Homo-oligomer: A and B are copies of this chain.
């Protein structure tokens, strides 16, 4: 199936001097270029997602599908599934990314029962193993779709019906096994239906406990089968549910801690989810990283004026810089990566739009990487931050930082030293310095 679905498009090249309308080449992303001690490819670990890019139809709540792809025959057959997978690997290869991600149900159709569904999945995974071998593509992460099938409408792990929870668990069992087979470097849980629509019909504590037990079953199975990938939980505040339990990074970290799961999971942060939760674009990336819980990033964006998940391609260099600064500070995301959980607008109906959008976003992140590297190399911002907290390296500050001070000591200190002097926070200076690099 090689090469036949995007005949007019060659492997995307790095052409730093290309003109404004040359949107099918990289002007900034140069995979092998060394930046801050590693190649751009190693820092950025881009991944294409299967659901938006190969299963997205352009349908929205007010409109029918707009995206018609040459490899689709309108059926949900196994044949179509395999042809589509071939098209995807052609796309991955021509785009020049090294990783992909999928939900179980993206790549293979459900059958009449779980046994048949699992056979379907195995058969497509056979092909994926082969295509990975031929192309060198790797699986960044696999995940299970526990939200689209009507059986999960009231939740998967948090469904009020144990029969459905059991079904979700059985699905995860298989999902883990095929992810292992494909060498998946991570496995993601996104609980789109784990939450409530009305508190009136919901026992939130029971549901959260069931969810924790559900994850424990998955952790046990992971160990049993020797899957060595990282488990990731992905926060989202709402949509499709009115309230999703995994609201944001700190909520999820608290949940994991409460139920003793914090050693077994890290977080997959999606900035569009972060902004829907009312935070700044980079907030959850920074918070998760600070708690050593940042596992991977769904590198997309929303529109700040819209209250739903638009999963747009990230095109803002300043946002990319902030994310990459955090990534560089933690020494890289591996085994995580930057997964494009993005979809072309439903109006972007040309086949080339699939490439243009990914290329544009990869270039935006490449610029972000280079800017962030320069920020860290020159070290001005880092030094200014360090200086702000200098008082904690000695005296009463060191005791407070270590947790050995008492409240009486603090009072004595004030009685002796008197009123402290507040220092300028200098926000505009920090912003202007950042602009020096972006």
Contacts and interface: CB of A to CB of B under 8 A. Distances in A.
B417 A163 contact: yes
Interface in A113-162: 113-115, 147-154, 160-162
A279 B195 CA distance: 12
B199 A286 contact: yes
A331 to B, nearest CB: 16
Interface stretch (A31-39, A178-186, A344-352): A344-352
User: Contact residue range for chain A?
Assistant: 35 or more
Interface stretch (A2-10, A77-85, A87-95, A203-211): A203-211
Contacts of A69: none
A21 B435 CA distance: 11
B173 A410 contact: yes
A422 B349 contact: yes
A238 B353 contact: no
Contact of A254 (B61, B161, B254): B254
A217 interface: yes
A164 B422 contact: yes
A277 interface: yes
Interface in A399-438: 400-403, 405-411, 413-415, 417-438
A170 B411 contact: yes
Nearest to A165: B400
Given A199-B286, A303-B280, A432 B315 contact: yes
6 contacts: A154-B423, A161-B422, A163-B417, A197-B345, A200-B430, A201-B425
